Amino acid sequence: MTDPVEVTIDSLGAKGDGLAHHQGKSLYIPYVLEGETVRVSPRGERAELEEIVMSSPDRTEPICPLFERCGGCALQHMARAPYHGWKSALVADALASRGLDAALEPLTGTEPGGRRRAVLAARLIGRRLLFGYHEAKSPRIVDVNHCPVLVPELSALLPRLADFLPLFMTKKGEAKVTLLATDSGIDVSLDHVKDMRGGQDYLKAVELAEELDLARLSANGEILLERRPPQISMGRALVSPPPAAFTQADKGAEDAMAEMVTTAIGPDAKRVIDLFCGSGTFALRLAENAPVWALEGDEAAIKALEKAWRFAPNLKGIKMERRDLFRRPVLAMEMKKFDALVFDPPRAGARAQAEEIAKSDVATVVAVSCNPGTMARDLRILVDGGYRLESVTPVDQFLFSPHVECVAVLRK
């Protein structure tokens, strides 16, 4: 066991940990701020915080008593203005690492109590249920009976749901619990749980959904009961996403990004492409003004988009295509008749697709990303292909985490 040592925090890393140096070695320390003097116990490259000797003026009181135990948040101890500055710097540094010079717009922030989607873990230890988030960098689960980051209806559901989860649990492994607050109620999707089809367990599950007033309850990808279709508004359309499907985690962040995308593309676009379209976050809004070609690899998401489009009023046509854009990107020649494009890939980015866009003559391209590093790589490809990077806007969709969303606008 190494004795505690006193160090000064030089900077914050990309994951939100403080970086300090001791005896020529780097130490990464959670829950500290730049400039603070702290006492820590080294554990290899990491160190456990023992005491704050001299605190930063940027330090503030966390809003959750579980902070530092629960791994759901990393930065509740940082005041709003420097926190926004740090997140913006993550984007600026990623762009600079690729030699990109862009006008970085002010970060679009979100507020506590605004997150409508959460993924939690559950495990039975004997007869005891653990239900909550993992500890930081640990498989251990911290019991969570409320969460101030979530919308109030999700936070209020947590202790009530914990009473019923043992019904679904197996003695082995860990269950995944995906919660989504929709316009018509809460959607609960359970994965890695017992087969609930038929028998008394199914009847008990139905009783659970009734008692908790859930819109929908699913287990292992199968819908057990849909009392009301879970619906999310996307412009004029109402989308019912598949169980546990990707949705933007914060409605305020989604609305802000959608406004950026539609404004950048403008009302005069004649034909638009939406790549990695999901269930229609941007496609349904863009179709209010122009026909859209929407492509996505997930079949269930495409079906949800199609249903939403069919029942939405006064939308232009949306041509929907299921395609694995990593294996078969849309080619430059396929883009000839389009004058605007948006792409929103997973964290891995879309190198192959960006290479094809760079060869095209599409006048306006909007890139949306949840990973500044891969976004900067893909933007470099586009700039090298003749695009001008007009602006980049960071969006703090995942409050108090090191993740940051971005919207970048490019013109040919």
> Which domain CATH number covers 51?
2.40.50.140
- For the ranges 41-45, 96-100, 402-406, which has the lowest average pLDDT? 41-45
Q: What is the pLDDT of residue 1?
A: 58
Confirm whether 64 is domain-assigned: no
Residue 147: give its domain's CATH number: 2.40.50.1070
Percent over 70 (pLDDT), the chain: 100
Same domain, 104 and 129: no
Domain count, the chain: 3
Q: DSSP letter at 186?
A: E
CA–CA dist 12, 7 (Å, integer): 14
Active site residue 370: yes
Same domain, 286 and 390: yes
The answer, yes or no, to whether residue 50 has pLDDT greater than 80, is yes
Token duo for residue 310? 């069919």
Same domain, 241 and 191: no
Residue from 64, 277, 370, 406 carrying the catalytic annotation: 370
Same domain, 190 and 308: no
CA–CA dist 190, 122 (Å, integer): 10
Same domain, 281 and 399: yes
CA–CA dist 68, 48 (Å, integer): 11
Single-letter residue type at 383:
V
Token duo for residue 8? 């000064």
- In this prediction, residues 156-180 reach a mean pLDDT of 93
Same domain, 124 and 92: no
Residue 268: give its domain's CATH number: 3.40.50.150
For the chain, what is the mean pLDDT?
A: 95
C-beta pairs of 87-94 under 8 Å, 24+ apart in sequence = 87/394, 87/396, 87/404, 88/394, 90/14, 90/372, 90/394, 90/402, 90/404, 91/372, 91/392, 91/394, 91/404, 91/406, 93/372, 94/372, 94/373, 94/375, 94/376
Phi/psi at 320 (nearest 5 deg)?
A: -105, 135
Confirm whether 71 is domain-assigned: no
Confirm whether 40 is domain-assigned: yes
Confirm whether 66 is domain-assigned: no
Nearest to 29 by CA among 144, 147, 137: 137
Same domain, 208 and 238: no
pLDDT band, residue 406 (cuts 50/70/90): very high
Same domain, 50 and 156: no
CA–CA dist 295, 342 (Å, integer): 11
Q: DSSP letter at 64?
A: -
CA–CA dist 210, 199 (Å, integer): 17
Confirm whether 209 is domain-assigned: yes
**Cβ pair 161, 188 in contact under 8 A:** yes
Domain that holds residue 11: 1-58
Same domain, 20 and 126: no
Same domain, 208 and 269: no
Confirm whether 75 is domain-assigned: no
The answer, yes or no, to whether residue 103 has pLDDT greater than 90, is no
pLDDT band, residue 102 (cuts 50/70/90): confident
Q: In 10 A of CB 56, how many CB atoms?
A: 18
Phi/psi at 107 (nearest 5 deg)?
A: -65, 135
Model pTM score: 0.93
Same domain, 282 and 331: yes
Q: What is the pLDDT of residue 195?
A: 86
Confirm whether 346 is domain-assigned: yes
Confirm whether 406 is domain-assigned: yes
Same domain, 166 and 302: no
Residues 169-218 have pLDDT tens digits of: 988 889 999 999 999 999 999 999 988 777 787 888 888 889 999 999 99
- In this prediction, residues 232-252 reach a mean pLDDT of 95
